[in-house]
Amino acid sequence: MNEGRSLAFYALAAFFCLFVLFLYGPTIVIFILSFQGPSGGLTFPLNGLSVHWFEKLWVGGGIVNIWGSFGRSLELGVVVMILTVVLSLLAGLAFRKRFRGSNLLFYVTIASLIVPSIVTSLGIALEFRLVDDLIKNHGPDWLTDGFHTSMGNFTSGLGAHLTWTLPFGLLVMFAIFNRFDSRYEEAARDLGATPWQTLRHVILPIILPSLVGVGLFGFTLSWDEIARSSQVMGEHNTLPMELQGLTTTVTTPEIYALGAATTGVSFSVIAVALFAIAILRARQSRHGSDAGKA
C-alpha cells in the first residue's frame, strides 16, 4: 500500500469533493440568497445585495412571533444539553460495571433510536392526555383550578427530546470508555483516592473534551428536532416546527434569512464546542506527564 497515488485515489477524491458540494451546496445557496435585495425573489438572480430580509426578521414584522419560538428552542436546547451530558455520563459509568438490567437498558436505548419518531411522539402525547384527564377528573381542587394541560416544552417536550439525544450520548460514552485506560483509575485507588476523588480528579479531567462532544450532540439534536416534537409541545411550538409551518406560507427570502440565522446558531455552537475541545486537548498535552511514553 505504499506505492504512489493511484488513479482510483483521484477518482475517489473527486467523488468525495462532489459529495461535500452536495452536502453543503444547497445551504450555501440559501446563505447567499438571504442577502437578496428588497425586490428579490426566492431564486436567482440576486436583485442587489442587502440585509433587508435580516432586518425584517429582526424587527419581526413579516413572520409572526418567531423570536418566541427561537427563545424557547434555545432554552430547551440548553436544558437538554445539560441533562444529556449528566445522564449519559452516569449511565456510561454504570455500564462499566455489572448491574442487573444493563442488557435491557441497552436494548431499550437502541430501540429509541430506531422506533419511528412519530410513534414515540404519539405515545408521549397519549400519556400526557391521559394524565390530564386523570387530573381534571380526580385531581384535588388546588390542582384542577385553571388547569389546562400538563403538556409543555419542559415536560412532555423535554422527555421527547431526551429519548432522541440520550442514545447518542450513551453511544459516545461507550466509545470514550472503550479507549479509557483504567490503569489511571487503579493508580488513583492504590494511592487511596475515594471513588468520588477518582471521578473528580482523574476520570473527569481525562474525558472532559469528549464530554463537550456529548453536549454538542445534546444541543444540536434538540435545536433541530422536529418529528418527536410534533405532537408533544403543547401550546408553544419550537423553532423547527414554526419553520416547517412557514415553508408553505412564506414566499419571500425572509425564510432564507431565518434559515441562515438558525444555521448560524448551529454553526456557532459547533464552532464553540470544537474550539473548547481543541483548547482542552492542548491543555491536557501541556500538563500531561510523559511517563511511560517512548
Using CB under 8 A as the binding rule, the residues of this chain from 86 to 105 that contact other proteins are 86-88, 90-91, 93-102, 105
Q: How far apart are CA 186 and CA 229, in angstroms?
A: 44
**Which one of 55-63, 81-89, 136-144, 284-292 is the stretch in contact with other proteins (CB under 8 A)?**
81-89
Q: How far is the CB of 223 from other proteins (least distance, A)?
A: 7
| Cell numbers for 6 | 493511484
Closer to other proteins by Cβ: residue 39 or 142: 39
Q: How far is the CB of 59 from other proteins (least distance, A)?
A: 21
Q: Which of 21, 29, 51, 82 binds other proteins (CB under 8 A)?
A: 29
Q: How far apart are CA 184 and CA 172, in angstroms?
A: 20
Is 74 a binder of other proteins (CB under 8 A)?
no
**Which one of 59-67, 145-153, 276-284, 286-294 is the stretch in contact with other proteins (CB under 8 A)?**
276-284
Q: Name which of residues 46 to 65 contact other proteins (CB under 8 A).
A: none
Q: Do residues 231 and 122 touch, judged by C-beta distance below 8 A?
A: yes
Q: Name which of residues 102 to 161 contact other proteins (CB under 8 A).
A: 102, 105-120, 122-127, 129-130, 156, 159-160
Q: How far apart are CA 208 and CA 193, in angstroms?
A: 19
Q: How far is the CB of 281 from other proteins (least distance, A)?
A: 7
**Which one of 51-59, 139-147, 176-184, 282-290 is the stretch in contact with other proteins (CB under 8 A)?**
176-184
Q: Name which of residues 195 to 254 contact other proteins (CB under 8 A).
A: 195-196, 198-199, 209-210, 212-214, 216-217, 220-221, 223-224, 226-227, 230-231, 240, 243-244, 247-248
Q: Do residues 176 and 210 touch, judged by C-beta distance below 8 A?
A: yes
